[in-house]
Structure 1
Amino acid sequence: MTPDQAQEQIKQLTDQINYHSDLYYQKSKSEISDFDFDQLLVKLAALESEFPQFKAEDSPTQRVGGTITKEFDSVIHKYPMLSLGNTYSEEDLIEFDNRVAKGLEGQTYEYFCELKFDGVALSLTYEDGVLKRAVTRGDGTQGDDITTNAKTIRSIPLKLKGEVPAEFEVRGEAFFPIKEFQRVNAEREDIGLDLLANPRNAASGTLKMQDSSVVSQRRLDCFLYYLLGENLGYQTHSECMAAVESWGFNVSPTYSKRSSIQGVLAYIHEWEEKRHTLPVETDGIVIKVNDLNQQDQLGFTAKSPRWAISYKYKAESATTVLESITYQVGRTGSVTPVANLSPVLLAGTTVKRASLHNADQIERLDLRIGDTVFVEKGGEIIPKVTAVNLDLRKTDSEPIVYITECPECGTPLVRQEGEANHYCPNADACPPQVLGRIEHFIQRKAVDIDSLGPETIRGLLQNNLISNYADLYSLTFDQLNGLEFRIFSDKKGEYTARSLRDKSAGNIIKAIEVSKKVPFERVLFGLGIRFVGKTVAEKLAAHFQNIDALGLASFESLIAVDEIGDRIAHSVIAFFQNEEHIKTIEKLRQAGVQLKTDQSQIIVPESNIFADKTFVISGVFTQFSRDELQEKIKANGGKVISSISKKLDYLVAGDKMGPSKLEKATTLGIKIISEEEFIQMINN
């Protein structure tokens, strides 16, 4: 076969395969058998192997997999993937509708309702109609690049049909179809492998597999539900979904537009039972304001949109026997009682354990060992004990007495006034707390020592090479190379031996060295101060600028910082009053870890002329980059926000600004200024 003939045949096979894929996934029809379809793929793969110069990046053979991915790159989302507010109450939905009506001030609006599928949220980016990147939700700000694995999902188009925007992002839910989940488990049972726990967790684990050919064999699916991009030209979410469907994406046909909240409730009632007939697990309904301009007007909270909400169906329930209670100690010393149950099937999974939360919950339920209890899954995800069947209680049963000492180190437990949980105060020597604090310190949001895992940390503790996270910076290659330790296997119920190879040891030392350059706010978060999360750490670092100033801060100076309340202030003070913590910080300082803010990143105040004023920046500018413009606004006392509403003070408009923002700002009477006018305001 000549190259020209091969190129032509590759094109014909590609068109033929794409035609049958579109017919199957978009129209639920099939003109050929699965065997014949697979044979077309085999022929195409053989030709591409012989003539690799003609293999396209959107070739259907990409779906077969075979690429090995050792590590998944972290990608920052262009548009943050926020979570939705949840409710199980129809009254809350009516209250949500009241808030929408108030926010839209008399405007007519409608809702777009869709089922909430139980899978893994994905962000797909397309350029010139070709899939360029698939990224998991991650923490909402950044996720993992799993493009190679996503390409094996046959309902995700590699190349789109018709005329599409030059670049856009579409979001959806990758999931394990129930039928395929059952097929895979049957195969695993045949060969003596452990069964996959549930479709949602199995989908998540599958998408992070290193071998994409294994991912392909799992036959995951994906429903798309959200379109994002610049100047797309659509006015409503329903128009976006119609466009997405026309381009070849798989959109669940279960959606519906409703003109009122009563129509939304009718949709919820319609699907409460009918959803169980679908080929995928569902856990609720998503309700969105349909009009995109109205979505912009309603805006966002810090964590979720004000124009959407998720309604969760009440969980399924089952009865089983409470066999015993064990107590788990977390990173902060919080003790959580766990119910050990006789195995019971619940919402498609076998439940053996359930959280009892705290001593008050045990007392409220009046739990006793041997009780027959009702168990349900909160949001159909986390099992919990909800009640006791008193009719089946044994006459000789006795109330459960909550433990008074830490189950790990024997230290007497404490319970702070106003708090529900008991705590072990032995933070610096209680084994699970020490382990948890180190794991917290090395996580991605903190100093990001990604070469260290829980097993290796346990090995370092077993060999007395470390006792806290600061000791990591004293480790040497010779100490790690060949290090032997034991790990406990829950599946086998026994300890197995492990050792570090020279490459792993080298990677750990390298990652530890790199972590010394991590900014102060992330180090501060990694210290594990109780109640100091990532956002609080950023605010404290920006205000005090170094660890010494923070350590000497008074209660009054702490609560003067934005969003810092009494509880956080007391916790920070208590942390720095602990001599062991001071010693740990000194070790970090001597190791070269960043304990002060990089002065080059600090915004120096210039004036207060924009005090209490809000700005939206849109377009391209000649004298400032967008980041520089944002810093200039902040340096002069202003605040930069992302969406236009009637409360906005200024829209700074540059070249190539989106017409929708300009139109909305004009409609709402927002002051629109150019880059030159902005500069004049500062100079004046």
Structure 2
Amino acid sequence: MGLVTEQRPDPAAPDTVEPARADERTRERHAALATEITEHRYRYYVLDAPTVSDGEFDTLMRELEGLEERFPELRTPDSPTQQVGAAPSATFAPVQHLQPMTSLDNVFNQEELFAWVDRTYDRLGGRPGEGAFVCELKIDGLAVDLVYENGVLVRAATRGDGRVGEDVTANVRRIEAIPHTLVSRAGHPVPALLEVRGEVYLSLEQFTRINEELVAAGRAPFANPRNSAAGSLRQKDPQVTASRRLGFTSHGWGATSDDPGTRLELARQSHAYEVLADFGLPVSQYSRVVDTKEEIWAFVEEIAGRRHDFVHEIDGAVVKVDERALQDRLGFTSRAPRWAIAYKYPPEEVTTKLLDIRVNVGRTGRVTPYAVMEPVVVAGSTVAQATLHNATEVVRKGVLIGDTVVLRKAGDVIPEVVGPVADLRDGTERAFVMPTHCPVCGTALAYEKEGDADIRCPNQRSCPAQLRERLFHLASRDALDIEVLGWQGADALLAAGLLKDEGDLFDLTADDLARTSFFTRASKAKERAQGAGERVLSANGKRLLENLETAKTRPWAKFLVALSIRHIGKGNAPDIAAAFPTVEALRDATDEEFDAVEGIGPSIAAAIRDWFDTDWRVDIVRKWQAAGCVLGTYGQPSPTGPQVPQTLAGLTVVITGTMPGYSRDEAQEAIVVRGAKAAGSVSKKTDYVVVGEGAGSKADKARALGRPIVAAQDFQRFLDEGPSAVALLGE
């Protein structure tokens, strides 16, 4: 389908022809077509009972499109034609969910499932009675949150961290199964506000089609339907999302209106699904209300035997307490409802031919063997490679090149070679021999210390494979979030000899990038005539320079991840950055200071010392600082201006949970620039603990130690006016 572009009148033309206005008869025909098409879509996507053929449906759609081409006034946002088509590129702004999108706890066998049922009975004081539970499929897709106001879809977001997701409204509007407007056929009141939760997925049929098209175009296929669904939903161009033909199934809701005239009275989860379906929202046709744990198990086993029969992939079954009042009594843990559980099916196993064992060199020099196999479908995904971890693991598993091997997807996610089918050997198989030299730079491989399982390339500074991996790592979202510095960009910089190591990254100039084809483009004739040369900086080249400038002021914790110190990642970097607020403080830290920080054990402390004991790594810090990078919390500019009142001077503050209007990094920064230490763990030395939604063990520890607690809604006043301006919880 081509782009529909707006036709603007020529300003030089003496007469501008006004578009024709639709008469009453045309308006009636347009409204009738829209209603009929919407009904057909409902029957097709929700009821799975279409009453017209695809050809008949297409004829109706073409007529509707023709009317809107002749009479543009008829093309409104809720028209069926606007579910696909041209639209401005989307940018994914952060969106805070009206109510948090929690996850589900998992069980993996009958014993664990029955134990969950028994605990549920205990919490409720006995068995709830008939229709106690509703069972449904666990769709392997992408969770999304839809917000309808007065029945109109106004926003859609990904799950994100459960509280803040990505705004994907423009793309979700291109999913035909998701209605733009809620209309009840059974007379249910459409609430003034309704937050719908569900799963976006790519059907197995569409997954096959898209991968065939990608391969035919010489591009890499998607790994599995879940990833392709996520990638399709996050396209910058909504038309690409529309072409992927994503599906959607709703499985719950968040915030709803309390308005007496439109309030939904939903006594049971199963009844809610009926109401959502009545509104035009797709729901699963495989849900089942059951009474006992034996009936739950029967459902789980039945679905396991049919797991490849569904239009989409599933990775388990979900069991929920059906009665809403009982759900409210059971409540939530910090991450999941107590009234629901996910039963995860065991990993699937298949056999395939092991064609070769090769090695990959990672960013820390670790050389990892991996299996190259005849492609095989396992758990719904085509797999051709799997990690073998290290040479010792290859020997332990007893696999030979040429073996038929058992392949398993542990948790339906990570491919794993379990072992060989030895009875099928014919004598042509051969053992894998670990290389003695780096396959990329030729340096002799060695164990870092005696007893190590992993062999490494010691040429850490200049091995192209390690440097490329480190560049890719520091450009990731977990680190400095440099958008265009991916695999190809890193390869281009290294091939042009622009970087000895990552320390040179922030010194790159436009003249440097002009030496690469990846960051340049052929100049136009006019530019050549003006002496611009044959190649000029491309959009990617300009964006890289802009991103590098922006990255200089990323939070210190992000830089800490970017340094590639072993054992330090996005999980523990914020706590380490809070304890050591500058790179100099981390470099000069004593054993006693390391011991005082929860989460820094001997291995991490040793890794930090080793890193700073290496001259060329210390030189990276020097180069980055000389280029203007801020590797420390205290030195970073504050969004509130250079002069920030020291309202928290000398205090030690711990933040746990979500703070309104702040990310975790921003909240810690706000504490530090006002003179406090933003600690990562609670102790008797902690002066205040700020507790927000989703707070976990730190809040419990604060209460146990009697530390003063500040509520998240008072966080801004706490920052602006100090502790004396807020009421402490429990006082």
Class of the TM-score when normalised by the shorter of the 2 chains: 0.7 to 0.9
Give the match's secondary structure for 1:534: coil
Aligned partners of 2:224 and 2:59: how far apart in 1?
32
Deviations 1:46-71 (A, max 9, x none): 333444344322221122323352x6
Residue range with higher mean Cα deviation, 427-436 or 598-607:
598-607
Give the match's secondary structure for 1:339: strand
Alpha-carbon shift at residue 533 of structure 1 (Å)? 1.8
Aligned partners of 1:118 and 1:455: how far apart in 2?
30
1:37 aligns with 2:60: no
Are the aligned partners of 2:710 and 2:728 in contact in 1 as well (CA < 8 Å)? Answer: no
Q: 1:155/1:557 Cα in 2 relative to 1: closer, same or farther (>3 Å)?
A: same
Give the equivalent residue in structure 2 for 1:339.
Answer: 371
TM-score (norm 1): 0.80
Residue range with higher mean Cα deviation, 509-518 or 557-566:
557-566
1:93 aligns with 2:117: no
Deviations 1:593-632 (A, max 9, x none): 1222157589964899x999999999xxxxxx9x999x99
Pick from 216, 227, 233 the counterpart of residue 207 of structure 1.
233
Aligned partners of 2:608 and 2:118: how far apart in 1?
40
Alpha-carbon shift at residue 311 of structure 1 (Å)? 2.7
Aligned partners of 1:284 and 1:7: how far apart in 2?
48
Alpha-carbon shift at residue 168 of structure 1 (Å)? 4.0
Are the aligned partners of 1:128 and 1:167 in contact in 2 as well (CA < 8 Å)? Answer: yes
Give the equivalent residue in structure 2 for 1:351.
Answer: 383
Residue range with higher mean Cα deviation, 639-648 or 451-460:
639-648
Q: 1:4/1:576 Cα in 2 relative to 1: closer, same or farther (>3 Å)?
A: farther
Aligned partners of 2:205 and 2:729: how far apart in 1?
64
1:322 aligns with 2:354: yes
Identity %: 34
Alpha-carbon shift at residue 345 of structure 1 (Å)? 4.3
Alpha-carbon shift at residue 681 of structure 1 (Å)? 5.7
Q: 1:419/1:216 Cα in 2 relative to 1: closer, same or farther (>3 Å)?
A: same
Give the equivalent residue in structure 2 for 1:495.
Answer: none
Question: When the two structures are aligned, how many residues end up with a matched partner?
Answer: 642
Give the equivalent residue in structure 2 for 1:229.
Answer: 255
Alpha-carbon shift at residue 273 of structure 1 (Å)? 1.0
Residue range with higher mean Cα deviation, 334-343 or 290-299:
290-299
Aligned partners of 1:460 and 1:614: how far apart in 2?
40
Pick from 173, 186, 200 the counterpart of residue 174 of structure 1.
200
Aligned partners of 1:198 and 1:682: how far apart in 2?
48
Deviations 1:283-331 (A, max 9, x none): 2223445558757866445x66666543332333332332221011222
Give the equivalent residue in structure 1 for 2:549.
Answer: 513
Deviations 1:355-378 (A, max 9, x none): 222334322221222222122322
Deviations 1:554-577 (A, max 9, x none): 233123223333332222222222
Q: 1:287/1:397 Cα in 2 relative to 1: closer, same or farther (>3 Å)?
A: same
Aligned partners of 1:595 and 1:91: how far apart in 2?
51
Give the equivalent residue in structure 1 for 2:622.
Answer: 586
Give the 5 Å matches for 1:434-453: 434-453=467-486
Are the aligned partners of 1:287 and 1:309 in contact in 2 as well (CA < 8 Å)? Answer: yes
Residue type matched to 2:43 in 1? L
1:247 aligns with 2:279: yes
Are the aligned partners of 1:617 and 1:652 in contact in 2 as well (CA < 8 Å)? Answer: no
1:391 aligns with 2:391: no
Pick from 414, 421, 428 the counterpart of residue 461 of structure 2.
428
Give the 5 Å matches for 1:43-58: 43-58=63-78
Aligned partners of 1:52 and 1:277: how far apart in 2?
44
Aligned partners of 1:10 and 1:679: how far apart in 2?
59
Q: 1:464/1:255 Cα in 2 relative to 1: closer, same or farther (>3 Å)?
A: same
Give the match's secondary structure for 1:575: helix
Deviations 1:122-147 (A, max 9, x none): 33333332223333445667654433
Give the equivalent residue in structure 1 for 2:170.
Answer: 148
Give the 5 Å matches for 1:241-390: 241-258=273-290, 261-288=293-320, 299-301=332-334, 308-390=340-422
Residue type matched to 1:447 in 2? L
Is the helix fraction higher in 1 or 2? Answer: 1
Q: 1:359/1:312 Cα in 2 relative to 1: closer, same or farther (>3 Å)?
A: farther
Pick from 683, 688, 693 the counterpart of residue 642 of structure 1.
693
Q: 1:481/1:170 Cα in 2 relative to 1: closer, same or farther (>3 Å)?
A: farther
Are the aligned partners of 2:171 and 2:242 in contact in 1 as well (CA < 8 Å)? Answer: yes
1:124 aligns with 2:119: no
Aligned partners of 1:486 and 1:111: how far apart in 2?
58
Are the aligned partners of 2:375 and 2:382 in contact in 1 as well (CA < 8 Å)? Answer: yes
1:406 aligns with 2:457: no
Aligned partners of 1:678 and 1:18: how far apart in 2?
56
Alpha-carbon shift at residue 13 of structure 1 (Å)? 2.9
Residue type matched to 2:357 in 1? I
Give the equivalent residue in structure 2 for 1:61.
Answer: 81
Aligned partners of 2:518 and 2:415: how far apart in 1?
34
Aligned partners of 1:254 and 1:149: how far apart in 2?
27
Pick from 19, 22, 40 the counterpart of residue 20 of structure 1.
40
Are the aligned partners of 1:607 and 1:637 in contact in 2 as well (CA < 8 Å)? Answer: no
Are the aligned partners of 2:710 and 2:726 in contact in 1 as well (CA < 8 Å)? Answer: no
Alpha-carbon shift at residue 353 of structure 1 (Å)? 2.2
Alpha-carbon shift at residue 465 of structure 1 (Å)? 1.0
Are the aligned partners of 1:235 and 1:293 in contact in 2 as well (CA < 8 Å)? Answer: no
Give the equivalent residue in structure 1 for 2:12.
Answer: none
Give the equivalent residue in structure 2 for 1:541.
Answer: 577
Pick from 537, 540, 564 the counterpart of residue 600 of structure 2.
564
Give the 5 Å matches for 1:478-489: 478-481=511-514, 483-484=516-517
Deviations 1:487-510 (A, max 9, x none): 9xxxxxxxxxx9874433222211
Q: 1:394/1:25 Cα in 2 relative to 1: closer, same or farther (>3 Å)?
A: closer
TM-score (norm 2): 0.75
Aligned partners of 1:133 and 1:320: how far apart in 2?
45
Q: 1:37/1:416 Cα in 2 relative to 1: closer, same or farther (>3 Å)?
A: farther
Residue type matched to 1:464 in 2? G
Pick from 477, 486, 491 the counterpart of residue 510 of structure 2.
477
Aligned partners of 2:216 and 2:485: how far apart in 1?
35
Are the aligned partners of 1:652 and 1:678 in contact in 2 as well (CA < 8 Å)? Answer: no
Q: 1:273/1:157 Cα in 2 relative to 1: closer, same or farther (>3 Å)?
A: same
CA RMSD of aligned residues (A): 4.4
Q: 1:352/1:28 Cα in 2 relative to 1: closer, same or farther (>3 Å)?
A: closer
Alpha-carbon shift at residue 588 of structure 1 (Å)? 1.3
Alpha-carbon shift at residue 279 of structure 1 (Å)? 1.9
Q: 1:396/1:558 Cα in 2 relative to 1: closer, same or farther (>3 Å)?
A: same
Residue range with higher mean Cα deviation, 8-17 or 106-115:
106-115
Alpha-carbon shift at residue 395 of structure 1 (Å)? 4.8
Q: 1:261/1:74 Cα in 2 relative to 1: closer, same or farther (>3 Å)?
A: farther
Instruction: Give unmatched runs, 5+ long, in structure 2.
Output: 1-19, 259-264, 521-533, 661-666, 680-685, 704-708, 715-722
Are the aligned partners of 1:406 and 1:413 in contact in 2 as well (CA < 8 Å)? Answer: no
Aligned partners of 2:179 and 2:168: how far apart in 1?
15
Alpha-carbon shift at residue 455 of structure 1 (Å)? 0.7
Give the match's secondary structure for 1:254: coil
Aligned partners of 1:208 and 1:541: how far apart in 2?
31
